[in-house]
A = this chain, B = another copy of it.
């Protein structure tokens, strides 16, 4: 864990922001720490230092570590779901909608890798604190998308297959460009993924999906 950096300039500027903005900025720092160290491994002292305030001051805004963690996950889901225009919007060309869906999900992996990772860690650990929210906010959307696939199949617009596992496959592949980026970078002999790698991934994923659906 690298030492916290001084953020005096940012701190001063922040003092004039209102509470909502400040809390959002704290979350933005916290998401990264949680993603790097996990819930237990993340220390409030480090998060506070990264955000440019004292640990006690941090606890003025968030009464407990769990409260901060849940707010972080809420923010992650908000951002995520806002970007992921559901497939359910409707009866456009499946080919175009799938391309857009894959692109949007990969874009999130590229622009918000820590958000994706903190969510992934929570799920892998069994979603012991955030399970209820996932059930309420994520699962219904996934089921909606699956229902769209099934409608397309029923209408003969895509080849018949298991719609649920198709969605699992799309999620797995797109998520991995955030979650497993460190390993991918090692294989590619790079320090981190570049824009080109995401484009290559997008081409690969799109091809696999469309080929499986007999849409190319």
Contacts and interface: CB of A to CB of B under 8 A. Distances in A.
Contact of A169 (B138, B142, B162, B204): B204
Contact of A39 (B38, B180, B214): B38
A124 B123 contact: no
Contact of A161 (B121, B207, B209): B207
Contacts of A77: none
Contacts of A161: 204, 207
A125 interface: yes
- Residue in A35, A134, A177, A183 whose Cβ sees the most chain B Cβ within 10 Å: A183
A131 B186 CA distance: 9
Nearest to A42: B40
Copies of this polypeptide in the complex? 2
Contact of A201 (B39, B165, B204): B165
30 contacts: A36-B125, A37-B40, A38-B125, A39-B41, A41-B125, A117-B124, A117-B125, A120-B124, A123-B183, A124-B179, A124-B182, A131-B186, A134-B183, A134-B186, A139-B187, A143-B187, A146-B187, A161-B207, A164-B187, A164-B200, A165-B197, A165-B201, A166-B204, A168-B201, A169-B208, A172-B172, A172-B173, A208-B208, A208-B209, A212-B212
